[in-house]
Amino acid sequence: MNHGFVKVASAIPSVKVADPQYNVQQIESLVIQAEGKGIEIICLPELSLTAYSCGDLFGQQLLLDEAEMALINLMNTTRSLNIISIVGLPVAYRGCLLNCAAVIQRGKILGLVPKTFLPNYREFYEKRWFQSGADVPEGTVLICGQQVTVSTNMLFSTPSCVFGVEICEDLWAPVPPSSKLALQGADIIFNLSADNDLVGKYTYLQNLLSQQSARCICGYVYSGCGFGESTQDLVFSGKGLIYENGILLAEAKRHQFTEQMLETEIDVDRLRGQRRLNTTFASCASQIRRQVNIVETERVPARPFSLTRVIDAHPFVPTGARLDERCQEIFDIQTEGLAKRIKHTNAETVVVGISGGLDSTLALLVCVSAFDRLGLNRRGIVGITMPGFGTTDRTYTNAVNLMKLLGITIREISIKEACIQHFNDIDHDIEKHDTTYENSQARERTQILMDAANQMNGFVVGTGDLSELALGWATYNGDHMSMYGVNASVPKTLVKHLVAWVAEHTKDESTRQTLLDIVETPISPELIPADEQGNITQKTEDLVGPYELHDFFLYYVLRWGFRPAKIYLLARQAFGQKYDDSTIRKWLKTFCRRFFAQQFKRSCLPDGPKVGSCSLSPRGDWRMPSDASSDAWLKECDELG
């Protein structure tokens, strides 16, 4: 099972100008290699059978005949292969010459797609030799002994995807043919190109491909001419690029003197899911009136499949300089959201429960940022630490020290006596450390925060994060509730980086050290007493599983709507060196079970700012019945091998 992935390749052969017999040998070698790797579709450069830079030799009948003979050779060589090959050649058609892409499979030419937009400036003079495919009527041509359809408006349907073809300059047009092809159903676009090199041009091309694949919500495979093309006036460096919905999947090295083949998998299932959710895409598609020619490819036996593309284990957390930019942007969104709520309510204070853990630390830092931006005195931020039965010296010390260092108002209110009284009231054995024991403490803390906010004309700033909401790892009407939840759409893996980011950018060394120690503290609700040495005994990730796994599952459920089997495949690829298969299966089932069962908590969430593409707000992002059945998801988890 391919789980919606399609193996594709962008190949860049060495060529000799005007030597189709040599060129087809290089192409055949690459196609055979690709077939051996299970590639379904391979794309070669523009006019790859003749070379692009033949100039006026395109007017010679001998070259056209040699190109046709080379295509026949390629068809014979691949007659027993399942792979679909897309190669470029000049084709004589109704009294003119077309720059075409030939799509071939198992000895048959499935179609000829002519280039639509021909450059006619400075270094390129294609209109000297070729006619635009848009200027000739659709029809058929006899080539290689077959009657073949010639059309710029053609899609090719395989069992795993629908693809379209455009050629080089087509991409650079204001409205590329690929836009219309995508709107008519193409999942993947293949571009046969001959793009010369100029300073700065490659970066522009990368941006163009990224944007086109993102606008069209498609895969985009680009293959450009390389070594062997004439360098009389231009140099062709061999550009190979594969994008998926704006994301670069694979990139060839330029200026290589040998052939190259770039391969990866495009996730068609993901693209189709995204299109279904994007109503703008559907609206644009409804405006396309022209009837498209759909060519069915030959059905071939299923091939062994292995995933080779890199899967990011932490999809919410970018790397390098992008992480710094992402943290700044998220922090600014959180700050602005809270600042607006402070101004709107005319609140004199904001109240935050400070535990010494990651979530409350981030919430406090956002409060400080909002007050500073509004020009308010930090004393209006009231941090309340509420030691309980499980509070450790480490978290308590960090909580108090951080509040002192940030210059906010500090209140300490122990919950022990109140909880003991509550246990007596409801006749609960204090030695029985069950759900009642834990939730009573969480609700007592929330009651204190709410009432303290009433006392001081303020509101409670919530600390819970996106990961906790997904798992329901919050006490209903306890830490589940607040007046404004600044962390509501920030996943746990990112919370950690945000706190570390603030630590790196703070000027005070004591504050930095305190924040870094908080980052290193095990995640825990601290509702169960510590051990004899005062260490945390209740570690969240021991109970519900690693947050990095749950955040991974959450991303692919919310952002892409993937089923458990596909998420499992991706998780194995991303975490194979860290977690074994049984561990991934265990926590994936836990995620699915808890995600469904805990929806009732998300149905009444407080307001909070959305910071990324994934959110569980019941008002806009995730509207799921609290009593939806999880049976199908759990059944698929049980069937994972």
The model's pLDDT over 408-419, given as tens digits with 9 standing for 90+, comes to 999 999 999 999
426: burial class by Cβ within 10 Å (0-12, 13-18, 19+)?
exposed
Predicted local confidence at residue 616, as pLDDT: 96
Predicted local confidence at residue 617, as pLDDT: 95
Please identify which of the residues 28, 43, 54, 115 carries the catalytic annotation: 115
- Whether pLDDT at 121 is above 90: no
Range in 110-119, 327-336, 463-472, 515-524 with the lowest mean pLDDT: 515-524
- Please confirm, yes or no, whether 412 is among the known catalytic residues: no
The more confident residue out of 294 and 531 is 294
Give the containing element (helix H, strand E) for 552: helix 547-558
What are 214's two structure tokens?
């993102």
The more confident residue out of 228 and 243 is 243
- Please confirm, yes or no, whether 46 is among the known catalytic residues: yes
Predicted local confidence at residue 139, as pLDDT: 95
For 356-380, write each residue's pLDDT tens digit. Answer: 999 999 999 999 999 999 999 999 9
Distance CA 458, CA 451 (A): 10
Reduced to 3 states, what is the DSSP secondary structure of residue 450?
A: helix
Q: Which backbone phi and psi does 522 adopt, to 5 degrees?
A: -55, 140
Predicted local confidence at residue 534, as pLDDT: 67
Predicted local confidence at residue 62, as pLDDT: 97
Residue whose token pair is 């909880």: 419
For 12-46, write each residue's pLDDT tens digit. Answer: 999 999 999 999 999 999 999 999 999 999 999 99
Name the residue among 379, 396, 398, 378 with its Cα closest to residue 387. Answer: 396
Instruction: Band the pLDDT of 602: cuts 50, 70, 90.
Output: very high
Predicted local confidence at residue 359, as pLDDT: 96
pTM of the model: 0.89
Predicted local confidence at residue 543, as pLDDT: 87
Predicted local confidence at residue 321, as pLDDT: 87
Range in 91-105, 197-211, 332-346, 432-446 with the lowest mean pLDDT: 197-211
- The segment(s) of the chain belonging to CATH 3.40.50.620 are 321-638
Predicted local confidence at residue 470, as pLDDT: 97
- Whether pLDDT at 476 is above 80: yes
Residue type present at position 258:
T
- Whether pLDDT at 122 is above 80: no
Phi and psi based region of residue 407 (left: phi greater than 0; alpha: psi -120 to 50; beta: remaining): left
Mean pLDDT of 470-491: 96
What spatial distance separates the first Cα and last Cα of the chain, rounded to whole Å?
12
- The segment(s) of the chain belonging to CATH 3.60.110.10 are 5-296
For 154-166, write each residue's pLDDT tens digit. Answer: 999 999 999 999 9
Fold of domain 5-296: Nitrilase/N-carbamoyl-D-aminoacid amidohydrolase (3.60.110)
Mean pLDDT of 557-571: 96
Instruction: Band the pLDDT of 388: cuts 50, 70, 90.
Output: very high
CATH architecture, domain 321-638: 3-Layer(aba) Sandwich (3.40)
Please identify which of the residues 43, 168, 327, 592 carries the catalytic annotation: 168
Instruction: Band the pLDDT of 301: cuts 50, 70, 90.
Output: confident
Distance CA 101, CA 167 (A): 8
The more confident residue out of 543 and 397 is 397
**How many Cα atoms are found within 13 Å in the side-chain-facing hemisphere of 560?**
21
Give the containing element (helix H, strand E) for 366: helix 358-374
- Whether pLDDT at 69 is above 90: yes
Name the residue among 625, 377, 350, 317 with its Cα closest to residue 499. Answer: 317
For 607-630, write each residue's pLDDT tens digit. Answer: 999 999 999 999 989 999 999 999
Reduced to 3 states, what is the DSSP secondary structure of residue 566?
A: helix
Distance CA 207, CA 203 (A): 6
Residue 376: C-alpha distances to residues 338, 344, 349, 485 (Å): 13, 15, 10, 20
- Whether pLDDT at 173 is above 80: yes
- Helix spans in 407-533 (H): 416-425, 435-455, 466-471, 492-505, 509-520
Residues of the chain with pLDDT > 90, as a percent, come to 83
Residues of the chain with pLDDT > 70, as a percent, come to 98
**Cβ contact 515:502 at 8 Å:** yes
Instruction: Band the pLDDT of 232: cuts 50, 70, 90.
Output: confident
Predicted local confidence at residue 282, as pLDDT: 87
Reduced to 3 states, what is the DSSP secondary structure of residue 330?
A: helix
The more confident residue out of 123 and 166 is 166
Neighbours of 402 (CB within 10 A): 25
Predicted local confidence at residue 124, as pLDDT: 65
Q: Which backbone phi and psi does 295 adopt, to 5 degrees?
A: -105, 125
HEC profile for 289-343? CCCCEEEECCCCCCCCCCCCCCCCCCCCCCCCHHHHHHHHHHHHHHHHHHHHHHH
Predicted local confidence at residue 127, as pLDDT: 87
Distance CA 190, CA 554 (A): 32
Predicted local confidence at residue 526, as pLDDT: 66
Instruction: Band the pLDDT of 582: cuts 50, 70, 90.
Output: very high
Name the residue among 326, 328, 357 with its Cα closest to residue 514. Answer: 357
Mean pLDDT of all residues in the chain?
A: 93
- Whether pLDDT at 501 is above 70: yes
- Whether pLDDT at 538 is above 80: no
For 570-581, write each residue's pLDDT tens digit. Answer: 999 999 889 999
Instruction: Band the pLDDT of 514: cuts 50, 70, 90.
Output: very high
- Please confirm, yes or no, whether 265 is among the known catalytic residues: no
Mean pLDDT of 557-576: 96
Distance CA 425, CA 500 (A): 43
Please identify which of the residues 46, 169, 229, 265 carries the catalytic annotation: 46
Q: How many residues does the chain have?
A: 641
